[in-house]
Structure 1
Amino acid sequence: MKNNYLKSGPIFLAFLCMGFGDVVGPLTSQLQAEYELTNFMAGLVTFMGFIMFGLLSVPMGLVQDRKGKKFVLLLGMITALAGLVLPILGNFSSFGLLLGSLLLLGTGATLLQVAGNPIMRDVSPEGKYSRNLSFGQFFKAIGSLSGALLPLLAAQYWGLDWKLLFPVYAVIVLIAGVYLWFVKIEEKKDDSGSPASFGSVLALLKNPYVFFMVLAIFLYVGAEVSMSAKLPNYLEHKFNFDIQELGLWGTLFFFLALMTGRFLGGVILNWMSPSRFLKITTLLALVGIAGLYVATSATMGFVAIFVIGLGFANIFPLVFSITIDAMPERSNEISGLMVTAIIGGAIVPVIFGAVADIFSLMAGFIVTLVCIGYIFGLSFYKRK
Structure 2
Amino acid sequence: MKTQNSTLATLPILFGFFVMGFCDIVGISSDYVQRTFGWSPAMTGFVPSLVFIWFLFLGIPIGNHMNKWGRKNTVLLSMAITVIGMLLPLISYSSVTCMIAYALLGIGNAILQVSLNPLLSNVITNQHLLTSSLTAGQVIKAVSSLVGPEIVLFAVAHFGDDKWYYCFPILGCITLLSAIWLMATPIKREDSATTQLLPISDTFFLLKDKKILLLFLGIFFIVGVDVATNFISSKLMAERFNWTTEQVKFAPQVYFLTRTIGALLGVFFLARIAEMKYFRVNIIACLCSLLILAFVENDITNLICIGAVGFFASSVFSIIYSMALQARPEKANQISGLMITAIAGGGVVTPIIGIAIGKVGIIGGVCVTLVCVLYLTYCAFGIKTGKLN
TM-score class, shorter-chain normalisation, is 0.7 to 0.9
Between the aligned partners of 2:68 and 2:292, the Cα distance in structure 1 is 47
2:281 maps to 280
Letter of the 1:184 counterpart: I
1:259 equivalenced with 2:260 (yes/no): yes
Instruction: Describe the shift of the 1:266–1:157 C-alpha distance in structure 2 as closer, same or farther (beyond 3 A).
Output: farther
Between the aligned partners of 2:23 and 2:254, the Cα distance in structure 1 is 18
1:184 maps to 187
Asked if the contact 1:274/1:322 (under 8 Å) is kept, the reply is no
1:110 maps to 110
Between the aligned partners of 1:5 and 1:321, the Cα distance in structure 2 is 27
Asked if the contact 2:56/2:342 (under 8 Å) is kept, the reply is yes
Between the aligned partners of 1:362 and 1:129, the Cα distance in structure 2 is 42
Asked if the contact 1:131/1:267 (under 8 Å) is kept, the reply is no
1:40 maps to 42
1:231 maps to 233
Instruction: Describe the shift of the 1:258–1:124 C-alpha distance in structure 2 as closer, same or farther (beyond 3 A).
Output: farther
Asked if the contact 1:132/1:266 (under 8 Å) is kept, the reply is no
2:305 maps to 304
Between the aligned partners of 1:272 and 1:120, the Cα distance in structure 2 is 27
Instruction: Describe the shift of the 1:227–1:99 C-alpha distance in structure 2 as closer, same or farther (beyond 3 A).
Output: same
Between the aligned partners of 2:46 and 2:320, the Cα distance in structure 1 is 27
Shift, 1:185, TM fit: 5.1
Shift, 1:312, TM fit: 2.4
2:88 maps to 86
SS at match of 2:127: coil
1:98-134 Cα offsets, whole Å, 9 max, x none, are: 2222211111000011123444566374357665544
Asked if the contact 1:131/1:269 (under 8 Å) is kept, the reply is no
Letter of the 1:19 counterpart: G
Between the aligned partners of 1:226 and 1:23, the Cα distance in structure 2 is 13
Between the aligned partners of 1:363 and 1:163, the Cα distance in structure 2 is 29
1:69 equivalent among 36, 59, 71:
71
Higher helix share: 2
Between the aligned partners of 2:320 and 2:133, the Cα distance in structure 1 is 14
Identity of aligned residues (%): 28
Between the aligned partners of 1:107 and 1:133, the Cα distance in structure 2 is 22
Between the aligned partners of 1:16 and 1:325, the Cα distance in structure 2 is 29
Between the aligned partners of 1:282 and 1:126, the Cα distance in structure 2 is 29
Letter of the 1:350 counterpart: P
Between the aligned partners of 2:72 and 2:289, the Cα distance in structure 1 is 38
2:55 maps to 53
Letter of the 1:9 counterpart: L
Asked if the contact 2:262/2:311 (under 8 Å) is kept, the reply is yes
Instruction: Describe the shift of the 1:32–1:175 C-alpha distance in structure 2 as closer, same or farther (beyond 3 A).
Output: same
Between the aligned partners of 2:334 and 2:27, the Cα distance in structure 1 is 28
2:202 equivalent among 200, 203, 214:
200
2:149 maps to 148
Which shifted more, 142-151 or 223-232?
A: 142-151
Instruction: Describe the shift of the 1:208–1:60 C-alpha distance in structure 2 as closer, same or farther (beyond 3 A).
Output: same
The number of equivalent residue pairs is 379
Between the aligned partners of 1:345 and 1:108, the Cα distance in structure 2 is 16
Shift, 1:144, TM fit: 2.1
1:317 maps to 318
Asked if the contact 1:220/1:316 (under 8 Å) is kept, the reply is yes
Instruction: Describe the shift of the 1:52–1:118 C-alpha distance in structure 2 as closer, same or farther (beyond 3 A).
Output: same
Between the aligned partners of 2:278 and 2:125, the Cα distance in structure 1 is 20
1:99 equivalenced with 2:102 (yes/no): no
1:22 equivalenced with 2:24 (yes/no): yes
Instruction: Describe the shift of the 1:280–1:115 C-alpha distance in structure 2 as closer, same or farther (beyond 3 A).
Output: farther
Which shifted more, 316-325 or 46-55?
A: 316-325
Letter of the 1:99 counterpart: M
Letter of the 2:187 counterpart: K
Between the aligned partners of 1:257 and 1:38, the Cα distance in structure 2 is 30
Instruction: Describe the shift of the 1:324–1:76 C-alpha distance in structure 2 as closer, same or farther (beyond 3 A).
Output: farther
1:65-98 Cα offsets, whole Å, 9 max, x none, are: 443433322221221122122233x1x5322222
Between the aligned partners of 2:323 and 2:130, the Cα distance in structure 1 is 9
Between the aligned partners of 1:194 and 1:247, the Cα distance in structure 2 is 49
1:18-76 Cα offsets, whole Å, 9 max, x none, are: 11122222211222233332221111122211222222222111112443433322221
- Give RMSD over aligned pairs: 2.9
1:182-230 Cα offsets, whole Å, 9 max, x none, are: 2425758898x85422232122222222222211111122222221111
Shift, 1:158, TM fit: 7.5
Q: TM-score, normalised by structure 2?
A: 0.86
Between the aligned partners of 2:117 and 2:280, the Cα distance in structure 1 is 22
2:169 maps to 167
Instruction: Describe the shift of the 1:176–1:328 C-alpha distance in structure 2 as closer, same or farther (beyond 3 A).
Output: farther
Shift, 1:307, TM fit: 0.7
Instruction: Describe the shift of the 1:56–1:302 C-alpha distance in structure 2 as closer, same or farther (beyond 3 A).
Output: same
1:216 maps to 218
Instruction: Describe the shift of the 1:280–1:171 C-alpha distance in structure 2 as closer, same or farther (beyond 3 A).
Output: farther
Instruction: Describe the shift of the 1:374–1:131 C-alpha distance in structure 2 as closer, same or farther (beyond 3 A).
Output: farther
Instruction: Describe the shift of the 1:83–1:62 C-alpha distance in structure 2 as closer, same or farther (beyond 3 A).
Output: same
1:330 maps to 331
Between the aligned partners of 1:127 and 1:8, the Cα distance in structure 2 is 15
1:355 maps to 356
Letter of the 1:345 counterpart: G
Structure 1: give runs of 5+ residues left out of the alignment: none
Asked if the contact 1:124/1:132 (under 8 Å) is kept, the reply is no
Shift, 1:137, TM fit: 2.2
Shift, 1:325, TM fit: 5.2
1:31 equivalent among 21, 26, 33:
33
